[in-house]
Amino acid sequence: MYLDNSATTQVSEEVFEEMKPYFREEFGNPSTLYGIGRESKKALNQARQRVADAINAKPEEIIFTGGGSESDNLAIKGIAFKLAKKGKHIITTDFEHPAVKETLYFLESLDFKVTYLPVYENGVIKIDDLKEAITDETILITVMHGNNEIGTVQPIEEIGKIAREKGIKFHTDAVQTFGKIPVDVEKLNVDLLSLSSHKINGPKGVGALYIKKGTRVTPLIHGGGQERGIRAGTENVPGIVGFGKACELAANQLDEHYEKLSSIRDELIDKVLGTIPEAYLNGDKEKRLPNLVNFRFKAIEGESLILLLDAKGYQASTGSACSSNKLEASPVLTALGLDPVDVHGSLRISLSPESEKFDVDEFVDILSEAVSRLRQMSPLWNDDLDYDGVMCKKHGDDCRMC
Amino acid sequence: MDYSEKVMDHFANPRNCRKMEDANGVGTVGNPTCGDLMTIYIKVEDDVIQDISFQTFGCGAAIATSSMITEIAVGKTIDEALKISRNDVAEELDGLPPIKMHCSNLAADGLQAAIENYKENNQ
């Protein structure tokens, strides 16, 4: 059973069917004037309307991109470059997705100043911190809607209200929330909002940036004038068509999916915390997505746990350094102020609407067995030794964790 | 993680994973902050490792290398055992992913620490 839907999702059958004609029969370039070009243009327009409808925007406010990361880059660099003469200060949080964080690091290298708001133990920012951080130089606030690792949801509406009062542009990365909780650009008071297709059972390699009418950004990709000159390049028509369909389906079934997923989530949280000793939930219990939970278990390491679960047919993920390409513990969990040793014992479970067949009792039994098995092996669980004196002999001076 | 079948076997069915109450050499290496901590227990008689076991907190590779070294080292003299290198352990496991060679391949160090501890105890 696939429990890693925050990483990516399976393209749904309806979406796949909708895309098919645009690979071979309807292969025209939307910028051309003859029949098959016009057909592609029509499909593009319909998809744009569907995306716009799903977030209560106007079609001309939707720019198709190559995915969530590109949308974040376009929003942040696009505003920074456009408004650099007005000011060079940007406000964000301590635990943004790398697509936002790395973009801001890049801007820092170009002399922009960035304030990183703390997210505290519950993974939610405090509005007062934001108010204090605003200066006359602030041109942009970028705060993610739902966190991709722990699923906490930020007070976007309130942040947007403050940004608007101060005349500061406001961007949110809604990649994880879209299709899970209501995303209404009017209610959220946002100027820019990033979306991704492959998190909502659409194809990979396509996303969108909502840009509120009147907000101007400097393009990242220059060329043939597509997407109103904001994102050049012949459009990924099959991908965009699939994304449009996925948006329509997600929006239509939002309430039904929310009910279903949040009840599975709550059952899972209660049973895991009730069954497994020294198990904890990461992030605020209330302000969270219906489909994502993140636990931590004392004295075990996450990669081992993932391998044991995989052997039993469950695919999930962890924030342990041992599972990352950089051998770096999850910056999100670290930002919560957790002990680095505990970060290694984290487990993320993310559900999809198809997870209704997910048997929570059976899963918790298997999880509980895996955790206790690893604890039987773990000197951290079985010994009262003080390990502070044990030196790291393996990483040496370049160990990021030591 | 792309592990060999042998690594997966030693991870899923670890050999000699237990505390040893009557060990006469114990070595702990690694750092839980980095994600791996390994304790190797040995029981040495007449300079020969008669029994060896481990306890490990860590990833699949850390557990598999711990398990493997107990199989390699048992029955060896302590001088022979001191010559077992990280590469020897990795080779016996049909290789480790490159990223794990440096960080989780701790078992040879753990065994050396246990032998040093045995020598200190028996000076």
Distance from CA of A274 to the nearest CA of B (A): 24
The H-or-E segment that residue A19 falls in is helix A13-19
Q: Are A87 and A140 part of one and the same domain?
A: yes
Q: Which domains are delineated in chain B?
A: 5-121 (3.90.1010.10)
* Residues A281 and A353 both lie in one domain: yes
For residue A300, the chain B residue with the least C-alpha distance is B57
**Structural contact between residues B70 and B15, judged by C-beta atoms closer than 8 angstroms:** yes
Scan for tokens 């198809």, then name that residue: A354
A258 and A363 assigned to the same domain: yes
Residues of A in contact with B33 (CB under 8 A): 340-341, 392, 401-402
Task: Collect all residues of chain B within an 8 Å Cβ-Cβ radius of residue A344.
Answer: 32, 35
Q: Which residue of B has its CA nearest to A400?
A: B34
Is the pLDDT at A336 greater than 90? The verdict is yes
- Taking residue A238's Cβ as centre, other Cβ atoms within 10 Å add up to 21
Residue from A278, A303, A388 whose CB has the most chain B CBs within 10 Å, to mutate: A303
Note the pLDDT tens digit of each residue in A20-41: 999 999 999 999 999 999 999 9
* Residue A385: per-residue pLDDT: 57
Chain A residue numbers with beta carbons less than 8 Å from the beta carbon of B31 are 387, 390-392, 394-395, 401-402
Q: Give the β-pairing of B48-57 and B36-45.
A: antiparallel
Do A218 and A287 fall within a single domain? no
Which of A252, A285, A303 is at the close of a domain? A252
Which has the higher per-residue pLDDT, A384 or A19?
Answer: A19
| A274 assigned to some structural domain | yes
| Tens digit of each residue's pLDDT (9 = 90 or more) over A165-185 | 999 999 999 999 999 999 999
CA distance A72 to A220: 11
The answer to whether the CB atoms of A322 and B63 lie below 8 A apart is no
Q: Which of B8, B30, B63 sits opposite A377 (nearest CB)?
A: B63
Closest approach of chain B CAs to the CA of A391, in angstroms?
A: 6
Catalytic site includes residue B59: no
CA distance B41 to chain A (A): 12
- Tokens at A36, concatenated: 């098959």
Confidence of residue A401 (pLDDT cuts 50, 70, 90): very low
The answer to whether B33 contacts A341, with C-beta atoms less than 8 Å apart, is yes
Whether A238 and A266 map to the same domain: the answer is: no
Are A235 and A259 within one domain?
A: no
Whether residue A83 is found in the same domain as residue A230: yes
Average pLDDT over every residue of A129-151: 98
Q: Which of these three, A252, A272, A292, is where a domain ends?
A: A252
Q: How many CB atoms lie within 10 A of CB A111?
A: 8
Q: Does B57 contact A385 at a Cβ distance shorter than 8 Å? A: no
- How far apart CA A64 and CA B80 sit, in angstroms, is 64
**Is A197:A206 a contact under the CB 8 Å cutoff?**
yes
pLDDT band at A324 (very low <50, low <70, confident <90, very high): confident
Q: Let me know if residue A368 belongs to a domain.
A: yes
CA-nearest of B53, B55, B63, B58 to B8 is B63
Q: What is the pLDDT of residue A130?
A: 98
Residue A292 falls within a domain, yes or no? yes
Q: What is the pLDDT along chain B (123 residues), one digit of tens a residue?
A: 689 999 999 999 999 999 999 999 999 998 888 889 999 999 999 999 999 999 999 999 999 999 999 999 999 999 999 999 999 999 999 999 988 887 788 999 999 999 999 999 988
Q: Domain check: are A75 and A97 in the same one?
A: yes
Any domain includes A1: no
Chain B positions in Cβ-Cβ contact with residue A393 (cut-off 8 Å) = 29-30, 106, 109
Question: Do B30 and A394 lie within an 8 Å CB cutoff?
Answer: yes
List the single residue in A322, A401, A402 with the smallest CB-CB distance to B58. Answer: A322
Q: Are residues A382 and A279 in the same domain?
A: yes
Total domain count for chain A? 2
Chain A contact for B99, CB < 8 A?
A: yes
DSSP string, B28-94: EEEEGGGTEEEEEEEEEETTEEEEEEEEEES-HHHHHHHHHHHHHHTT-BHHHHHT--HHHHHHHTT
pLDDT band at A389 (very low <50, low <70, confident <90, very high): very low
Q: What is the spatial distance between Cα A278 and Cα A296, in angstroms, rounded to a whole number?
A: 8
The reply to whether A6 falls in a domain is: no
Taking only the tens place, the pLDDT of each residue in A213-257 is 999 999 999 999 999 999 999 999 999 999 999 999 999 999 999
Q: Which chain A residues are Cβ-neighbours of B106 within 8 angstroms?
A: 393-394
Q: What is the extent of the structural domain holding A182? A: 13-252
Kindly state whether residue A206 falls inside one of the protein's structural domains. Answer: yes
Residue A4 lies in a domain: no
Say if residue A116 is in the same domain as residue A198. Answer: yes
A3 within some domain = no
Q: Determine the average pLDDT of the residues in A79-94.
A: 98
Q: Say how far apart CA B30 and CA B105 lie, in whole Å.
A: 10
A112 pLDDT above the threshold of 90 = yes
Classify residue B42 by burial, with Cβ atoms within 10 Å: 0-12, 13-18, 19+: buried
Looking at every residue in chain A, the average pLDDT score rounds to 94
Domain end among A219, A252, A285? A252
**Is there a single domain that holds both residue A336 and residue A359?**
yes
The answer to whether B12 faces chain A, any CB pair under 8 Å, is yes
**Is A390 in contact with B29 (Cβ distance < 8 A)?**
yes
**Residue A388: band (very low, low, confident or very high) from pLDDT cuts 50, 70, 90:** low
Whether residues A222 and A328 share a domain: the answer is no
pLDDT category of residue A387 using cuts at 50, 70 and 90? low
Question: Any idea what the CATH number is for the domain that residue A90 is in?
Answer: 3.40.640.10
What is the pTM (predicted TM-score) of this model?
0.93
Q: What CATH code is carried by the domain that includes residue A308?
A: 3.90.1150.10
Q: ipTM higher than 0.85?
A: yes
pLDDT, residue A391, reads 47
